[in-house]
């Protein structure tokens, strides 16, 4: 849970449309009053939502009108902001399925994603789950796992960056809920729209692939607060204050694979690497701490996310500041200190997580936490660098447990008339 935030994250490659005048096909809005055409949720590849240009919060009745484009330089679901509902699902190719079947599957999936993101019905056997709703900022993102390349005879095209992640001391990984041949991320600002997409993708898999694991998450709904602000995680902390911003001069270099000058194969140009971790929060232990103790663990004030060294949420943290006793105001093992890019050789990740709650165990302990999703051009320089540092002394480590993990190569976006992964599967 790195200490990182992003303002509105729309890019020219992933434009957003959405007024009623542009048409939402069969899934019309019940009401589009006040529609702005922005993707609500853009306080970060990690943390909140973007406001309309006016001072007033966009009415919830317009949420359904928000549309993200499927085609573009990058896949959708990376630079857009947080979405209210999410599903993460991994598939394994069926026995006997290979490159040909995988190509046909990605073609079907891409067509379905394009249609649903435009507010249209699925091409075949639509369930009508999302009838009457607009696109609701739906995004569908596809990636390939390490094992996919051997299954399809494409080992020579497997990126070195996709080598398995190292082990970490906080890992208690369930192999059945980790990795996979294929990975799909679905996000939307309406739960039924998100489920509709999940069901359509699963049905499209047909006999070519079977579900390996699936996880459900949520974030704050657009319009739930009086003004745009960084979202909170289930520990009550503002989560994502220092995410990389698209306006940063080195944003693309950190997040996306370049078209040239990279060790990655050419089919990954414009793509990114997603690290996916199911991180359980030991909430009963965390909630026994006083607010002051919680702030010492994180290194930021709980009420407003400001660093303990003073200022506001966006104030640069003063790592050298001491109190009257000469002790560091921001503890040496505080989570926010350890995860700062300037403390990790510039390593940075674009975070787009979801919270989750999967009920309670027999003792009433909540199975809840964070579906951590981070994006970077190089996972070794991004996630691995930061996680190794956290592994050596993060104060937060005793209150969390990594229970599943995956690393996926997410190719660039599909051009008009193409499907995601076509450069790999037909190259």
- How far is residue 84's CA from residue 239's CA, in Å, rounded to a whole number? 15
How does pLDDT run across 168-205, given as a tens digit for each residue?
988 999 999 999 999 999 999 999 999 999 999 999 99
What predicted TM-score, i.e. pTM, was given to this entire model?
0.87
Of 276, 255, 421, 408, give the one whose Cα is nearest residue 341: 255
H or E, element range at 366: strand 366-376
How does pLDDT run across 331-343, given as a tens digit for each residue?
999 999 998 877 7
Say if residues 340 and 353 touch (Cβ distance below 8 Å). Answer: no
Residue 226 vs residues 50, 234, 241: alpha-carbon distances, Å: 12, 20, 19
Band of pLDDT at residue 60, cut at 50, 70 and 90: low
Of 194, 191, 220, 216, give the one whose Cα is nearest residue 44: 220
- How far is residue 319's CA from residue 326's CA, in Å, rounded to a whole number? 13
Token pair of 394 as six digits: 């993060």
Please state the rounded mean pLDDT for residues 100-109.
98
Q: 283-287: which pairs have CB atoms within 8 A and are 24 or more residues apart?
A: 283/234, 283/235, 283/366, 283/368, 284/365, 284/366, 285/398, 285/399, 286/235, 286/399
Q: Which residue has the tokens 């995601």?
A: 420
Token pair of 218 as six digits: 């949520």
Known catalytic residue: 239?
A: yes
- How far is residue 37's CA from residue 53's CA, in Å, rounded to a whole number? 11
Q: For residue 348, what pLDDT is reported?
A: 83
- The percentage of residues in the chain with a pLDDT greater than 70, rounded to a whole number, is 86
Catalytic residue among 92, 239, 264, 394: 239
Higher model confidence: residue 59 or residue 372? 372
* DSSP string for 83-105: -SEEEEEEEEEPTT--HHHHHHH
């Amino acid at each position: 849970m790195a200490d990182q935030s992003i303002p509105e994250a729309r890019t020219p490659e992933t434009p957003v449309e959405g007024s009623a005048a542009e048409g939402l096909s069969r899934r019309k809005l019940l009401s589009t009053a006040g529609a702005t055409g922005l993707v609500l949720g853009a306080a970060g590849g990690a943390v909140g939502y973007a406001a309309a240009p006016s001072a007033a919060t966009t009415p919830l009745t317009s949420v359904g009108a928000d549309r993200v484009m499927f085609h573009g330089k990058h896949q959708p679901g990376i630079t857009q902001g947080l979405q209210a509902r999410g599903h993460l699902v991994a598939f394994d190719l069926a026995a006997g399925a290979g490159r040909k079947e995988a190509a046909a599957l990605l073609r079907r999936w891409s067509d379905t994603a394009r249609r649903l993101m435009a507010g249209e019905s699925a091409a075949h056997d639509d369930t009508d789950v999302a009838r009457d709703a607009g696109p609701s900022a739906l995004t569908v993102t596809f990636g390939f796992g390490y094992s996919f390349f051997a299954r399809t005879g494409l080992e020579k095209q497997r990126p070195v960056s996709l080598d398995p992640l190292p082990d970490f001391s906080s890992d208690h990984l369930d192999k059945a809920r980790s990795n996979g041949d294929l990975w799909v991320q679905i996000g939307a600002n309406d739960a039924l729209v998100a489920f509709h997409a999940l069901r359509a993708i699963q049905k499209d898999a047909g006999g070519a692939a079977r579900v390996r694991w699936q996880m459900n998450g949520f974030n704050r709904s657009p319009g739930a607060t009086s003004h745009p602000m960084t979202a909170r995680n289930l520990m009550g902390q503002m989560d994502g204050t220092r995410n990389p911003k698209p306006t940063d001069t080195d944003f693309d270099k950190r997040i996306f694979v370049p078209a040239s000058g990279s060790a990655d194969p050419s089919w990954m140009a414009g793509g990114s690497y997603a690290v996916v971790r199911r991180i359980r929060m030991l909430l009963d232990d965390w909630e026994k701490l006083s607010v002051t103790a919680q702030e010492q663990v994180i290194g930021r004030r709980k009420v407003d996310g400001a660093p303990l060294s003073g200022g506001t949420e966006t104030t640069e943290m003063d790592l050298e500041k001491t109190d009257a006793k000469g002790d560091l105001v921001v503890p040496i093992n505080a989570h926010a200190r350890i995860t700062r890019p300037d403390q990790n050789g510039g390593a940075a990740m674009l975070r787009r997580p979801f919270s989750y709650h999967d009920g309670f165990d027999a003792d009433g302990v909540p199975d809840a936490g964070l579906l951590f999703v981070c994006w970077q051009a190089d996972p070794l320089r991004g996630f691995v660098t930061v996680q190794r540092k956290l592994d050596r002394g993060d104060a937060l480590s005793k209150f969390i447990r990594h229970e599943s993990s995956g690393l996926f190569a997410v190719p660039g976006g599909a051009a008009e008339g193409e499907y995601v992964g076509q450069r790999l599967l037909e190259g």
